[in-house]
Amino acid sequence: MAGVAAGRGHALLLETEFGPAVLRQYLRGGWAARVSRDRYAFSGYENSRPVREYEVLEQLVAAGLPVPRPIAALCAREGRFYSGWLITRRIMDVLPLADVIGSRRDTPELWRDTGACIRRFHDFGAVHADLNARNILVGESGIYLIDFDRSRLKKRDSRAFSANLRRLHRSLQKVWPKNSRGRLEGAWNTLLAGYDMQRDAA
């Protein structure tokens, strides 16, 4: 084991024969966690959260979109319930978008490229279930989206895509440093410009 990643629960950083990897367990948040933190109703392995996310990631990788490559989906059944884990290739030398704000990487180009990246996913039909400032990774090699749990592929779902963007905007409002609040809307408008430019280039 190489370490533990931050976030809800634990994501273990592994060194495997496939290269650096991340092992993430599926955990509930909010009120549902009071009932069960890590167990879900079983309705077939093909309907389990790790298998469904694995399949979505496979399609996104095949489309050339910047996501972690899936390695294995694990589903342990116990009667009417199951627990799940997903192993993906680790994307090296990246930081969450939330941690880049205010750094040397925080440039108009970054926000424009982030908008263009999101638009590529939407054009493919990817509806991210939790598009927030920590599920967007930034590195020298580009911008990536992670955590496609409960995400789906649905072409031309403009309402869902707009909801994605509103969720990201709320997330940025939460993490943006208070001493530079004035920059937020400028960065957001640049992100939207990149989103629209990617559409025009398609």
List residues with catalytic annotation. Answer: 130
Gap between the Cα atoms of 130 and 152, Å rounded: 11
Report the candidate in 141, 104, 21, 32 with the shortest Cα–Cα distance to residue 8: 32
Helix (H) / strand (E) containing 193: helix 184-201
Q: Look at the block and give the residue holding tokens 């704000």.
A: 101
CB under 8 A, 24+ apart: contacts of 141-144: 141/93, 141/94, 142/66, 142/113, 142/117, 143/66, 143/110, 143/113, 143/114, 143/117, 144/66, 144/67, 144/68, 144/91, 144/94
CB atoms within 10 A of CB 42: 16
